[in-house]
Structure 1
Amino acid sequence: MSSTSINVTLCPAEYQTVDSALATWDATLAKNYPGDDGRRQPVQTTYVSADRFTPGLAAEWGTAAMSAAEVAGGLAAVAREVGLGDGDVEMLAELVARKLSTEPIEDLRLDFEDGYGNRDDEIEDADVARAVERVVEAQTARTAPPFIGIRFKCFEAPTRARGLRTLDLFVSGLLAAGELPAGLVLTLPKVTSVAQVEAMADVVGRLESAHGLPSGRLRFEVQVETPQLILGPDGFAPVARVVHAAPGRVSALHYGTYDYSASMGIAAAYQSMDHPVADHAKNVMQLAVAGTGVHLSDGSTNILPIGDAEHVASAWRLHARLVRRHLERGIYQGWDLHPAQLVTRYLATYAFYRDGFDSAATRLRNYVQRIDSAIMDEPATAKALASFIHRGVVCGALTAADVLRSADLDVQTVRDIALNRPPT
C-alpha cells in the first residue's frame, strides 16, 4: 500500500512574511510578559511602625505567636479549632512550630506611613537614621527576615516631599553603612496614577546613578488602595499600565483592604478582604500581573486574636478562612498585623499545601513519567502542579523528602518544570 504524498502550499518566504508581521508583537510579549523569574515570594508581610523596629523583633513575634498558641492548648489544638483537622494535625503543628522558631516573619516593612503617622521632620529624620542602624545590626546578626524594607509616605502632593526624603535617607544610609540587604523592599503606597509609578521609577534610577548601583537594583511594590487605579476616567484599568510603566522596577502589587474599602464608601463594619469590592479590585490586579512576573499580595484583617479566649478563637477562625480563601484564588501572600496572626497564617498556609500535595505529586509524577491515569494533564497544568509543590517547599509546608517520596522527583526538577524548563 503506497502512502499519499502531500505537498506544502506556502513557501519559506511566506513564513517570513508572517514572522515580519508579528515581530513587533513578539517583542512586546517577550518584554512585558516574561513569566515567573523564579524569585521567592513571601507568604506574608508584617508592617510595624518604623520607630518600633528592633533587630530582635522577628524572633519576638515568633515567641509571642507560640505563646498565644500554647495558651489555647498548642498549635494542634488551634488547628482543630479553626477547622484544619483533616490531615496529619500533629505533623502540621510540628512544621509550624519549626517555622515560628526559625523564620516567623518572611517579609518585614518598617512603616513611615499610616502606621507611623505625621511627625516633625526632625523626628522622622532621626527615626530613619535609627531604622538604618537597626536594619544594619539585624543584617549583621542574621536576625533580619529574608525580605525587609520601608513603606514611606505616598506621592500625593501634601506628603510627597517627606516621602522622598525618607526614601533617600534610608537607601543612602544603608549604602553608607555598607551594602543594601539582598531582600530590600521599597513600598509606594496610595498610588492614584501611572504617573506616580513613573516618577518613582525615575527617583530610584537617580538614586542608583548617584550611588553607583547597577540599573534595576532598586525595585518597588505598588500598593493598590484607591479606586482610581482600578478604573480610570477613560474607562480603562490604570493598574494594568502600572505594571508596564516601569519595566523591571515594579516587583509586586499589594491590595490595601481598608483604604480601598473606605474609598469605595463601604461602612467600617463591612470592610473586609472578602467584600465584593475587594474581590473585584483583586480580580483586576490578578489579570494585570498575569504572565508579567510581578507578584500579587492580598491585604489584612484588622480583627486581631487578642483578648478573651472566645474572641481569640473567633479571630483565628476568621483569619484562617481568609488566608485559605486567597490561597485558593491564586493569591499567595497577605499581610499580618499582630504576632498571634502568625499562628493561623502558617497553619492555614501549610494545611493548604499539605492538603493538596498528594494529588498534585501523583499527577505531576504521572505527567513526567507518561503514566496513564484518569486525569490527562497538559503542559500548562503540569507547570501549575509543579509551582504549587515548589511554593509549598519554599515556605516550609513540604519537605524535599516529601517531594521525592510522592512525586519521585527532586526539588530542582520540580522548580524547573514550574519555570517552564522541560525535565531532562
Structure 2
Amino acid sequence: MKTIILIMPYGSVGGMERLALTFYNHYQLKGYRVKAIKLIKLKSDIINFNNDEYYLSDKDFSELNPIKRILFYLLAPFKIRKIIKKEQATDSISFGDMANIFSALTFTKENKISSIHALKSVELNDKNSFNTLIKFSYKKLYGAFNKVVCISNDIKRDLIENCGFKFPEKMEVIYNPHNAKRLVELSEEPIDNKQEIQLFFKKTILFIGRLSVQKSPWHLINAFNLLQEKGIDANLIFIGDGNSSITNHIKSLASNYGILDSIHFLGRKNNPFKYLQRANVLALSSHYEGTPNVIVESIAVGTPVVSSYCTDGIIELMSLNAHHVKNENLHVEAGIITPNLYKGNLGIPKTNHVLPEEQKFADALKYALQSPELKNNLLKNRNQLLSKFDVKIVSEKYLTPNK
C-alpha cells in the first residue's frame, strides 16, 4: 500500500493548503495511507488533517526570535526525515519553495515530488537572504526530486529562462486538481450569519486569499473607489487573512477615500465557496501568480472572474484559446483579463496615484456587475474550462514517474 506524505507551509485558506487537502481526500478515497506535515500549525488554521497531521512549530515565523528562526530552518529537514522514515512513506509531495527545500534536504529515498506555484522571477525580485536561498536551490537542490511540478506552462518557462533552474528534465506541467462536483455542493450550503447574508443584497465583488504583497489588494481598493465615484452601489468583501501591515494599509486607504463602510473583512472561512457562489464577480489584482486555485473554484460555482494579467497562467485558466493581453481589457470565456498592474516594485506603494491599469480594472468590474453576458458566457463554457483540472487525472499524474 502506498503511504503518501504531504508537506505544506501552513493550514490557512491559501491555494497550496487547499490543494493539499484535495490530494489528501482523493488519495484516501483511493485507499492510500496519507499523512500531512505543516511547517507551521496555528490555532486559527482552517485546513486540518486531524490524526493524520504532524507539525514542526506552533508559532509563526513572526513570533520567533532570530536564533529560534535559524534553529527552525536547520532542524526542519531532520524532523521531516524522521516522520518520513517513521511512516515508511512511498511518496512525498511538497508545496512551495520552503517545503520543497526542506524535503530536498531530507535525503530520503521515497518517490519525491515538489511543486512550484508562482511566477518566480517576479517574486524573487527583492534581494534578501531567503530569495538567495531559493535561487541557490533551483541550481543545486531540486536534483533531489523525482518530479518538479509546475502548475502552468508559464511558470516552467519562467524558471528555465529567468531563474537559472538547472533540472528541466525533471519538470512537468500539471494543472491543480479540483473536485468541481464537491465545490458546487459546498457553494450551495446556506450562510448562517444574517449580517453576512445582507451583504449580498447589493451587487458584490469578492476577494478570496491571503492579504499579501503578491496579491497587491491596494489596486482593488483603488479600482473600487473609482466605481464608487461612478455611482456604482456595491459591496467589496475580503475573505482571508494575511500580513497585518497590508491589511492596515488598505483599510487606511479605504478610510481616506471614505468608502470603508462598503468594504467588509470577513476573515478566514471554512467554506468560502458559499460566498463565492453568491458574489457577482471574483476579483484578483495580483502582481504575480501561478494558476490561482480560486479562479478554477470560481468557474466551478459559476461566478465570473476579473483578474489582472499577472502571468500567462491566467490565460490558461480563464480561456479556451491563446491570447496576449497588452493595454486593453480582454473578454474571455471565464470573465475579463485586465492589463498587468506590476510596475517593477513589490511592496506597499509610497503614493496612491491612480494607474491607468486600475481604471481599466474598474471598467471591467463595472461591466461584470452590470451585464449578465459574462455569467452566461461562463456557464456555457464551464465544463470545457474545467476538463483539464479533473482530480482523478491530475492526482495520478503527480505520482506517475517522468518518462
Provide the TM-score with structure 2 as the length reference.
Answer: 0.30
Question: Comparing both structures, which one devotes a greater share of its residues to helix?
Answer: 1
Which of 1 and 2 has greater Rg? 1
> Quick check: which one's strand share is greater?
2
TM norm structure 1:
0.29
